[in-house]
Structures are given as C-alpha cells and as structure tokens.
Amino acid sequence: MVDVHTSKQRSYNMSRIKASETKLELKFKKLFKVLGFIYQPKNVYGKPDFIHKKEKITVFIDSCFWHKCPKHYKGPSTNKKFWRDKINKNSERDKKVTKKLKKDGWRVIRIWEHSIKRL
C-alpha cells in the first residue's frame, strides 16, 4: 500500500505522537498517586511511567504498536525495514531495562495498552 502522505507530512504526523502523558498514562495517574506512586520520576533507569520508591515497584504502560505486543502488533505496510528495526530496538530495550531494574531490586510491572482499553 502506498503512503497517502508526502515524506514531509508523514514526518510531521509522526513528530506529533506523544512519548509522555499519553491518554493511557493519564488514565492511571490519579489512581496511582493515591497509592503512593510517582508519575514519570526523574533519574530512574529506563524511564518508567510510575514508581513506588518505598516498595521498589516500577510500572510501564506499553502501547501495542511501539512495544511490539505479541497479541496485537501489526507492522506498517510502508517503509517496512525502518519500522521493523525501530520496533525491534524498542522491544530489545524493554527487555534490557526490565532485566537491569530487577537486578537492582525493583519489581517491574508492564501493562499492555489492550488490557487498559478493556477497562
């Protein structure tokens, strides 16, 4: 399938995708705060969406596309190599971050976008 946007238009569209304060994260922000979690803490390896310092818990809210959900990921039909490489790097980084945080004594929770949308 041919992209209906020019390169410049596609670049602009992709630049508008938020990396933080996404709708998914904001759904949980108030609830997690009541439970003692900090939203988007600074200086924590892997940039978790939420942490609970006292309990050493990290929470990541992962979108099905950007983090390669095993149930729902479907790669784009254009610029396949670029997107395959990009998404695979994200997935590998997620594994590395999880491993490091666990080694450092943190509990790591990853919540998939599709499980939130059912709520």
Domain residue limits at 105: 19-117
Rounded-to-integer distance, Cα 76 and Cα 88, Å: 13
In a domain, 7, yes or no: no
**Distance between the two ends of the chain, CA-based, in angstroms?**
33
pLDDT > 60? residue 119: no
Residue 9 lies in a domain: no
Q: Which residues of 5-42 are buried (b: 16+ CB within 10 A; e: fewer)?
A: eeeeeeeeeeeeeeeeeeebbeebeeebeeeebebeee
Q: What is the CATH number of the domain that holds 109?
A: 3.40.960.10
With respect to residue 11, please indicate whether it lies within any of the assigned structural domains.
no
Report helix, strand or coil for 96.
helix
Residue 5 forms part of a structural domain: no
* This prediction's pTM: 0.77
Q: Name the more confident of 61 and 10.
A: 61
Summarize pLDDT for 3-42 with one digit per residue, the tens.
677 877 767 766 666 566 677 777 788 889 899 999 989 8
Q: How many domains does the chain have?
A: 1
Residue type at 29 in one-letter notation: K
Output phi, psi for 90, to 5 deg.
-60, -45
Assigned domain for 6 exists:
no
For 81-91, what is each residue's pLDDT tens digit? 988 999 999 99
